[in-house]
Structure 1
Amino acid sequence: MKSKGQRCLHIGEPDNFEDAKTEECWRRAMNEELWSIQDNNTWELADLPNGQNAIELKWVYKVKKDAERNLMKHKARLVAKACVQEQDVDFEEVFAPVARMDSVRLLIALAAQESWRIHHLYVNSAFLTGELEEELYVKQPPGYIQEGEEHKVLKLHKALYGLRQAPRAWNVELDRTLISLGFEKAPLEHAMYKRGDGKDRLLVGIYVDDLLITGADEEVIANFKLQMKKLFKMTDLGLLSYYLGIEVQQKPEGIIICQEAYAKKVLESCGMKDCNPSHVPMKPRLRLSKKSEAPAVDATEYRSVVRKLRYLTNTRPDLAYSVGIVSRFMEAPTTEHWAAVENILRYIKGTTNFGCVYLRKKKKEMVELLGYSDSDMAGDVDDRKSTSGVAYFLGGSIVSWLSQKQKVVALSSREAEYIAAATAVCQGVCLGRLLGDLTGKEPERVVLNIDDESTISLWENQMHHGRCKHIDTRYRYIRECVEESKIDVNYICTDDQLADILTRSLGRQKFVKMRRRISVQAVK
């Protein structure tokens, strides 16, 4: 016989309060949410002033599961219907920075290199913590209207989920708190904070209500956790194991990240759970066009699948090129485009447990930021634009990658390579400065490898003639970085160009070789 919790899970997530109130698990979840809000002094009963509008509230229900899709808890969230809010009346600023995935991977790679452990703190009801600057009123929540006070509304002192300014209010509060605790914000990544030097060095990465914490001294980390728990209601999740759908394994030899559970979920949602696996994500020499005369497919479904695949590239650089290609046809996809998506799904079927490996630094090993830049030539058959491929490695492990169609039409392979190199230089300088901020050291010169000598000669030999004048005008920055010793540009042979996997579809043997060399491998 099933328990009430099991029966509740069986019926799924309720759509409204009327459906939820009949189940004990959801009533308990709503009571916990309301108690948390009231304990936080979020609102008070008040009469609605003339000229003010009261925002409606609604309940949102979610079954929380872990990476193995086991039940963790039933969560009820009280959310404001913020669609009625007007800018400059009900709110002003809404932007709140979060850590970019490149920065998160750099933090993970650095922790792996230094044999640091990464801890995970979760802020309970984070958006309820931010102080509101505006005067706002909401209606009493469904099912919890106080008897005899039905005509009154709730005046908000702090933010609620759903309010347009809630993320901003929480971020301001968290930023103020961390600064008061002696942290300094990284200039290039406003969601990264640092404190102390040497053994006392402490790094914190922020993504809304998730805090990633790492450093050399476990005692320093433990003291910081105690400080935060005194200021906010927080859940200590221990060592980082699951973050934004990314599974993290921390081992003595290094750190591994993958999205196995998410990949399986994508396959299941697409009806490809039992498909035959493919050895490569895209067939070699495949050329797709927007002018395809094949029958059209459901654009909404196509976009939904491609968006899921794009999120999977956060730990799968081997998918970046193929997913980038199919993303170009989201407006009017055909069966030819859908066949390419299905091939990617079949490849994922055979590599669901693949991810990025970040190894521990060996003794006396020099750790440098090493980049690779490459491009194809006029690969897009519709507008003849080329594709840039950029990859950066820290200690042999990939931390940043890019496969992107260039914004202009290159008139030669040299220009296509130069455009890709300019993109790589910008990314490399940014990563180098961020790494210097996190380690407390001067940014080291970044090394960029290119497999085209004529491209390197453009900034080394100061050549100026009619055919490269427009390149010099548009991409002067790369020459300045070389002259100022911010970056070293080296020539490598094509066989050692690791960014090749980001610019074209490769044959099976070469693809598998390149995948292994960029540290993407099975993690179990």
Structure 2
Amino acid sequence: MDAGNFTDPTSYHEAINIDQSSKWNKSMIDELDSMKKNDVWDLVELPNGAKPVGCKWVFKTKLDPNGNIERYKARLVAKGFTQKEGIDYQETFSPVSRKHSLRIVMALVAHFDLDLHQMDIKTTFLNIDLNEDVFMRQPEGFKPEGQEQLVCKLKKSIYRLKQASRQWYLKFDEVMKKQGFIKNQVDQCTYLKISGSNFTILVLYVDDILLASNSLDMLYESKRLLSHNFDMKDLGEATYVIGIKIHRDRSKENFGIIAKGLH
């Protein structure tokens, strides 16, 4: 189906009242199933004096390199702008991979004919525990009958909480170090692991991961350890990542990228 025929819904009400409502409803159910699997919250009475954070549904059609719809993605996000510093969050800073690093990795892949694979972290922020008490209103459209007055006491982070990105990065960094990856001191979202004459480079961009290696065995081992620690989707050889289309024909030694903003 061509994505040009419609736009993403901007609210829950809109999502359940358009032609693709069944697909959006399934994507919302899938999102809540992931949260249940990860034990993200408990339903509780709101304590006296506590103010719950709001939440909302965000909808996005995921496209393939040809611009066709690959899947429908619904994400439940917190209205983090209502949080109060010192009460329901402390620190927020989290590093983001630099575009220059991605350029360098692409150049290395082309020059040394490295294998380049991509993985996607399905539930990025659901992998991490919260250190603060955060209460959130229940998601629109999915309040259990008879429990509508309860709120969600968050046990794990979700998207758009102010501390979510920082907590996720600290968790990811801890796992990578335990697995023998060395963090780049200039770009703290780029990691390197060396074993004899073999090496693997890992670039983290929020919930997208690029893996470049001169050893398929080492690359697959890196994938296994990532899947063991996080809920991952293996996308195989990288063809399209964070807006970058990758063209490659190794038999002809051709390698090129088309990207917006990667200068």
Give unmatched runs, 5+ long, in structure 2.
Answer: none
Report if aligned partners of 1:184, 1:195 keep a CA contact under 8 Å in 2.
yes
Structure 2 CA distance for aligned equivalents of residues 8 and 189 of structure 1: 35
| Aligned mate of 1:21, from 16, 23, 44 | 16
Structure 1 CA distance for aligned equivalents of residues 69 and 197 of structure 2: 39
Is 2:105 the partner of 1:107? yes
Q: Provide runs of 4+ in structure 1 moved above 3 Å.
A: 6-11
Shift of 1:146: 1.1
Report if aligned partners of 1:196, 1:202 keep a CA contact under 8 Å in 2.
yes
Report if aligned partners of 2:3, 2:69 keep a CA contact under 8 Å in 1.
no
Instruction: Give the secondary structure class of the aligned counterpart of 1:227.
Output: helix
Structure 1 CA distance for aligned equivalents of residues 66 and 6 of structure 2: 20
Q: Tell me the alpha carbon deviations over residues 37-69 of structure 1, each in whole angstroms, 9 at most, x when there is no partner.
A: 111111111121122111111111112112321
Shift of 1:255: 2.6
Shift of 1:230: 1.7
Instruction: Give the secondary structure class of the aligned counterpart of 1:196.
Output: strand
Q: Map 1:119-130; keep pairs closer than 5 Å.
A: 119-130=117-128
Q: Map 1:11-90; keep pairs closer than 5 Å.
A: 11-22=6-17, 23-90=21-88
Shift of 1:197: 3.7
Count of paired positions = 258
Is 2:204 the partner of 1:256? no
Shift of 1:89: 2.2
Q: Map 1:377-416; keep pairs closer than 5 Å.
A: none
Report if aligned partners of 1:9, 1:63 keep a CA contact under 8 Å in 2.
no
Q: Tell me the alpha carbon deviations over residues 316-356 of structure 1, each in whole angstroms, 9 at most, x when there is no partner.
A: xxxxxxxxxxxxxxxxxxxxxxxxxxxxxxxxxxxxxxxxx
| Aligned mate of 2:262, from 311, 314, 324 | 314
Q: Tell me the alpha carbon deviations over residues 279-325 of structure 1, each in whole angstroms, 9 at most, x when there is no partner.
A: xxxxxxxxxxxxxxxxxxxxxxxxxxxxxxxxx3415xxxxxxxxxx
Letter in 2 for 1:95: F
Q: Map 1:236-315; keep pairs closer than 5 Å.
A: 236-252=234-250, 253-259=253-259, 312-315=260-263
Q: 1:94 to 1:112 in 2, by over 3 A?
A: same
Instruction: Give the secondary structure class of the aligned counterpart of 2:14.
Output: helix
Report if aligned partners of 1:57, 1:80 keep a CA contact under 8 Å in 2.
yes
Instruction: Give the secondary structure class of the aligned counterpart of 2:144.
Output: coil
Instruction: Give the secondary structure class of the aligned counterpart of 2:43.
Output: strand
Letter in 2 for 1:206: L
Report if aligned partners of 2:125, 2:157 keep a CA contact under 8 Å in 1.
yes
TM-score, normalised on structure 2?
0.92
| Aligned mate of 1:143, from 141, 144, 157 | 141
Structure 1 CA distance for aligned equivalents of residues 5 and 135 of structure 2: 37
Shift of 1:149: 1.3
Letter in 2 for 1:257: I
Report if aligned partners of 1:8, 1:25 keep a CA contact under 8 Å in 2.
no
Q: 1:139 to 1:9 in 2, by over 3 A?
A: farther
Structure 2 CA distance for aligned equivalents of residues 14 and 258 of structure 1: 28
* Aligned position for 2:208: 210
Q: Map 1:163-182; keep pairs closer than 5 Å.
A: 163-182=161-180
Report if aligned partners of 1:203, 1:215 keep a CA contact under 8 Å in 2.
yes
Bigger relative contact order (CA 8 A; separation at least 6): 2
By percentage of residues, which structure has more helix? 1
Instruction: Give the secondary structure class of the aligned counterpart of 2:162.
Output: coil
Structure 2 CA distance for aligned equivalents of residues 8 and 114 of structure 1: 37
By percentage of residues, which structure has more strand? 2
Structural RMSD (CA): 1.8
Structure 2 CA distance for aligned equivalents of residues 189 and 7 of structure 1: 37
Q: Tell me the alpha carbon deviations over residues 6-59 of structure 1, each in whole angstroms, 9 at most, x when there is no partner.
A: 699844322221222241111111111111111111111112112211111111
Letter in 2 for 1:258: I
TM-score, normalised on structure 1?
0.47
Letter in 2 for 1:96: S
Instruction: Give the secondary structure class of the aligned counterpart of 1:238.
Output: strand
Structure 2 CA distance for aligned equivalents of residues 209 and 222 of structure 1: 19
Structure 1 CA distance for aligned equivalents of residues 4 and 154 of structure 2: 33
Report if aligned partners of 1:130, 1:171 keep a CA contact under 8 Å in 2.
no
Identity %: 32
From the CA coordinates, give the structure whose radius of gyration is larger. 1
Report if aligned partners of 2:65, 2:239 keep a CA contact under 8 Å in 1.
no
Report if aligned partners of 1:113, 1:254 keep a CA contact under 8 Å in 2.
no
Q: Tell me the alpha carbon deviations over residues 252-274 of structure 1, each in whole angstroms, 9 at most, x when there is no partner.
A: 22531113xxxxxxxxxxxxxxx
Structure 1 CA distance for aligned equivalents of residues 25 and 31 of structure 2: 10
Q: 1:116 to 1:11 in 2, by over 3 A?
A: closer
Structure 1 CA distance for aligned equivalents of residues 257 and 243 of structure 2: 10
Report if aligned partners of 1:185, 1:193 keep a CA contact under 8 Å in 2.
yes
* Aligned position for 1:221: 219
